[in-house]
């Protein structure tokens, strides 16, 4: 069985890893938000361009 010192070291290592994962998760969430906004802008602009092309060919 592990002694108290070994368990304390394992807990400290796990706490450090959880902190790293939390930071990474936050960064990924920020990046996904930016990608989502860029995608929305792209879709809206393409829609506007298709409407302009459609109007041009109707006339």
pLDDT at residue 1 greater than cutoff 70 = no
Structure tokens at 37: 């906004």
How large is the average pLDDT for residues 54-58?
90
Cα separation, 41 vs 9, in Å, equals 48
17-54 pLDDT, tens digit each: 999 999 999 999 999 999 999 999 999 999 999 999 99
| pLDDT > 80? residue 59 | no
Tokens of 42: 């792209």
For the record, the structure tokens of 30 come out as 């920020």
* CB contact at 8 A, 39 and 31: no
Give pTM, 2 decimals.
0.67
């Amino acid at each position: 069985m592990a002694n108290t010192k070994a368990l304390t070291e394992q807990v400290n290592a796990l706490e450090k890893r959880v902190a790293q994962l939390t930071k990474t998760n936050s960064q990924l969430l920020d990046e996904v938000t930016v990608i989502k906004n860029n995608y929305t802008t792209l879709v809206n602009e393409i829609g506007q361009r298709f409407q302009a092309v459609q109007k041009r060919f109707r006339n």
